[in-house]
Amino acid sequence: MSADDDTRYEAVSSRDARFDGVFFFAVTSTGIYCRPSCPAVTPKRANVRFFPTAAAAQGNGFRACRRCRPDAVPGSAEWNVRADAVGRAMRLIADGVVDREGVPGLASRLGYSSRQVQRQLTAELGAGPIALARAQRAHTARVLLQTTPLPVTDIAFAAGFASVRQFNDTVRKIYARTPSELRAERGARPAEGTSAPSAPAHPLLAGIPLRLAYRGPYAARETFDLLAAEAVPRIEEVVGEPGTRTYRRTLRLPHGTGTVSVDEAPRPGWLDARISLSDLRDLTTAVQRLRRLFDLDADPYAVDERLGSDPRLTRLVEARPGLRSPGAADPDECAVRLRIGRERATALVEAYGEAHPHPCGTLDLLFPAPDALTGEPDAGPLATALALGTVRLDPGADREETARALAAIPDLDARTAALIRMRALGDPDVTLPESPDEEAWRPWRSYATRHLALREGAPSTQSSPR
């Protein structure tokens, strides 16, 4: 963290929501940790400790505040900006890699030993990969307990816990309540349109309602305009009138498939979403993919302050506060679509799309996997590189290595390669070859590119010209 503790305490004293998720503070006299904007009475400075992550606070014996729910804050924008091993590790942990592959799997993806990863994360974040993953699982469990009627056993596995005992122990430690007490606290009952599962085989197919938190202003209209302009039939759609639209799409996930929807009309601090899954274990990954697609962990305060100080962008920033740089729900799919364009992508979905086992209205296909497209003349070279792993676009990919790998692909121009880095990798600091490359815009050049594109009146100018 860049600010010193006195500055952090000033943020706590003023209940500054701009720092929610950037750091956490704990009160030694109560044993509770909070987000900076917690509405409770500001504690004495002598009783306050600061932590870079919720996991670090938990690891030091503090439990989550019941009023401000510090575990529910948006993720720090720092992990989107940073391209080093710690930043890559945080993105992978958020995607559920530790839950699926353990610490050895995380280390392998980063190119380090498990001991090195443990040492780096603990030194900088105050918690190792297991503790960071556990904090994430606990938050998912709390949300499910308080917003759905799912059985506790199903919630334990949906949140990523290996056993119900581990789930119970973690919830008690972090929240100082049992799962049943945590559920009763909110009087959880089925949300409208949701009922308890009738059979254990597909407990989440009916859809689970979730709130996707973000910080600061959110320019929802521009994001939904872009998604509507790019939508490929049968795998995604945007329905409704501007201001009240809903984005829906199908997903291929590590353990199964899913269908997700997000509403355009933002409530203060969150977007309403619904996620339907064929396998409980994919919940964390599905949520993180939506967060990346809608750029919900961005820091609009920092972005708008930096870009708005440039006279060339001042009016653009003022006109669209909280403009986001949308990412990708499926990085490989996004890259192929940027290479071939919407019309060709629609044709490939019709020709190669896989049937969704649980279709929802017109959404009945999954975008073809890269290995199904290797014989296509326009998509083939990129699809082959993705299928072979010579180009990596997962959350832990090394951005510079990926850029070099993309440059080696035949017939992949520099503009498309930059778009892939911006959208599929979620890099916040990318410019297109035809756009100004201003050092003063770092590390938010992707957002400047969005502003410049919208100035031209084309919401989908981030798509390939093909």
Average predicted confidence (pLDDT) for the chain: 90
Asked whether residue 193 carries a pLDDT value surpassing 60, the answer given is no
Domains and CATH numbers, the chain: 5-72 (3.40.10.10), 78-147+150-186 (1.10.10.60), 204-455 (3.30.310.20)
Decide if pLDDT at 192 tops 50: no
**More confident call, 209 vs 428:** 428
What's the pLDDT band for 186 if we cut at 50, 70, 90?
low
pLDDT at residue 74 above 50? yes
State the average pLDDT over residues 340-368. 96
Residues 11-38, mean pLDDT to the nearest whole number:
94
Residue 202 pLDDT > 70? no
DSSP 141-172: HHHHHHH----HHHHHHHTT-S-HHHHHHHHH
Burial status of residue 24 (CB atoms within 10 A of its CB: 0-12, 13-18, 19 or more): buried
Query: Would you give the DSSP letter of residue 63?
Result: E
Count other Cβ atoms within 10 Å, centred on residue 169.
12
pLDDT for the residue 337? 98
Q: Output the pLDDT for position 195.
A: 37
**pLDDT per position as a tens digit, 250-281:** 999 999 999 999 999 867 889 999 999 999 88
End-to-end CA distance of the chain: 43
The percent of residues in the chain predicted with pLDDT above 90, rounded, is 76
Average pLDDT for 177-185: 89
pLDDT at 367: 98
pLDDT at 206: 64
pLDDT of residue 413: 96
Q: Give the pLDDT of residue 460.
A: 59
pLDDT average, residue stretch 221-243: 96
Residue range 120-143: average pLDDT? 93
The model carries a pTM of: 0.90
